[in-house]
Structure 1
C-alpha cells in the first residue's frame, strides 16, 4: 500500500520518520522541522489505518511492506517510534538506511497475563482509547504541550482502532531483532513500560547502542523534545 506522506525540507540527506499506533505524521511536528534545519529532506508516513493512509488488513509484516513500497531505499537516517520502530525493524534490511533509530520500539508488549501485579496492555485497551477525552489524554501525558493534546485528539478521530486487533499477536511476544543489521540506536524512555535494564543489556549484546531519555515517558519526542534530540547526538 502506498502511504500518505508529509515532507519537510529540501536537503540532500534523507531522513524517514515512522510514528506509533494511534498517531500519524503530525506527531513529528517538532522533529521534522528540526531535522530539516540540519540539512535533511524529512519524509514522515501515515501508517495504514492511520491519518490519511488507506485501511485494510493489519499485521506487523504489512506495515513493514508498506514502508518498503512507499519510502526511498538508502536514506541516511530512519527513525521509528513504538509500532513504527517494530515496523522499521521488519523493513530495515530492504530499506537499508545508513543508520536506524528505534524510539521505545514495540518489540515486547506485556499482556495482563504476563505482567505481574499490573493491569497490563491488551488490544482492547488500545481500541478503547479511540474515545479518549481531552482530560484523559492530558492526564496520561502531563508533559505534553496543548498543541500535542489537540493533535492526539484529531489523530484518534481518523485512526482505525482495528489496527490494535490486527496486531494482537505482538502482545506478549518477543519481537526484538536477533542483531543490529546496520548501525542502530535504541532510545528508551526512563518511564518506559516496555523495557528494563535486563532488556537494555540484551540489546547491547546484539549490537545496538542503547540510550535513556531521563524523565520521559513512552512518547519521548513529545514528553521531552530537547532530551529526545540530545539523545540523538552523533546519530543525526
Structure 2
C-alpha cells in the first residue's frame, strides 16, 4: 500500500519518520522542521489506518511492507516511534538507511492485567481535556493534533496488536548502526532489556524525565539525544 506522506525541507540528505499507533505524520510537527533546518529532506508517513492513508489488514508484515513500498531505500536517517519503531525494525533490512533510531520502540508489549490492546481503541473517544491531563508536558498544539488524529484513526488497527502481547520482539542485532532512545522510565524497554540491546550492539540512550512520546514531552531532550546520529 502506498502511504500518505508529508515532507519538510529540500536538503540533500533524506530522513524518514514513522509514527506510533493512534497518531499520524503530525506527531512529528516539531521534529520535521528541526531536521529540515539541519539540511534534511524529511519524509513522514501515515501508517495504514492512520491519517489519510487507506485502511486494510493490520499486521506487522503489512505495516513493514507499506514502508518499503512508499519510502526511498538508502536514506541517511530513519526514526520510528513505538509501533513505528517496531515497524521500522521489520523493514530496515530492505530500506537500508545509513542510521536507524528506534524511539521507545514497541519491542515488548507487556500490558497490565486487564489492559489488552483493544483498550487502545477507547482512546478514540477521549475528550480534549482528558488527553491534556494524560500528557501534561505537551504543548496545546499537540493536544489539538491528538484530537484530530484520533478522529481519523481506524481504531480497529489496535486489535492487530493482540497477538503481540507478551512477545519478545527485540532484534537480535542491528542491521545498520542503530540508536535506541528511551523514555524515563520506558514502559516497553526495561533496564534488563536495555542492557541486552547494548550487548547486541545497539546504542541506548534515555531522555531523562520524558514520557513515551519523547519528542512531544521534551523536544530539546529528544534532539539532544540524537547528537552524533543526525
Map 1:174-193 to 2 at 5 A. 174-193=168-187
Q: CA deviation at 1:134?
A: 1.1
Who is 2:158 aligned against?
164
Aligned residues: 230
2:225 corresponds to 1:231:
yes
Of residues 173-182 and 44-53 in structure 1, the stretch that sits farther from structure 2 once superposed is 173-182
Distance 1:198 1:112 in 2: 18
Distance 1:197 1:166 in 2: 27
Who is 1:140 aligned against?
134
Distance 2:162 2:215 in 1: 26
2:62 corresponds to 1:62:
yes
Q: CA deviation at 1:122?
A: 1.6
Q: CA deviation at 1:111?
A: 2.9
SS at match of 1:186: strand
Q: CA deviation at 1:191?
A: 2.6
Distance 1:37 1:202 in 2: 35
Q: CA deviation at 1:61?
A: 1.0
Of residues 165-174 and 28-37 in structure 1, the stretch that sits farther from structure 2 once superposed is 165-174
Distance 2:135 2:153 in 1: 19
TM-score by length of 2: 0.98
Structure 2: which 5+ runs fail to align? none
Runs of 4+ in 1 over 2 A off after TM superposition: none
Map 1:93-104 to 2 at 5 A. 93-104=93-104
SS at match of 1:108: coil
Question: Is the CA contact (8 Å cut-off) linking 2:8 and 2:42 kept in structure 1?
Answer: yes
Structure 1: which 5+ runs fail to align? 114-118
Q: CA deviation at 1:135?
A: 1.6
Q: CA deviation at 1:199?
A: 1.0
Distance 2:126 2:47 in 1: 21
Q: CA deviation at 1:25?
A: 0.2
Who is 2:87 aligned against?
87
SS at match of 2:176: coil
Of residues 206-215 and 189-198 in structure 1, the stretch that sits farther from structure 2 once superposed is 189-198
Distance 1:166 1:216 in 2: 27
Q: CA deviation at 1:133?
A: 1.0
SS at match of 1:78: strand
Distance 2:157 2:47 in 1: 10
TM-score by length of 1: 0.96
